[in-house]
Amino acid sequence: MLLKEKAIQSFNMWASVGKSRNETVFDNMRRDKANYKRAISGIKKKVVPMSSLIALYDALLNKDMNRFWQSWRSKFGSKHPAVVVCKRYC
C-alpha cells in the first residue's frame, strides 16, 4: 500500500497548490499515479481467474486434450514455439 499512499499524498499536494499542470508537483503526481497503476496491472497479470482453472479442470476431466491445450494457450500463452528437428530426408 506504499505506492497507493504515495499517489494519494502527491495528488493532495497537487490539489493544494491549485492543480496547475506546469509545475514539478504535477509531474510528481502523474509519476506516482503511473507507478501505482503499473503495480496493479502487474499483479492482475500474475493472477489466474478461477474460471480459467475450472475450464482446464473440465477439459482434463473429460479427457478432451485439444480443448485443454487451447484453453491453456489462451490463458498462459505459448512462450516457446515447437521446434521440428529432422534428421533424415529434410
Most confident of 1-5, 35-39, 85-89: 35-39
Residue type, 85: V
Q: pTM for the complete prediction?
A: 0.53
3-state secondary structure of 81: coil
Residue 43 has a pLDDT of 81
* Helices 65-76 and 50-61: angle between axes, nearest 10 degrees: 160
**How far is Cα 11 from Cα 23, in angstroms, rounded to an integer?**
13
Q: Is the pLDDT of residue 86 over 90?
A: no
Q: What is the mean pLDDT of residues 64-77?
A: 80
Give Cβ neighbours of residue 4 (< 8 Å, ≥ 6 apart): 36
Of residues 84 and 38, more confidence is placed in 38
Residue 82 has a pLDDT of 66
Q: What is the mean pLDDT of residues 53-81?
A: 79
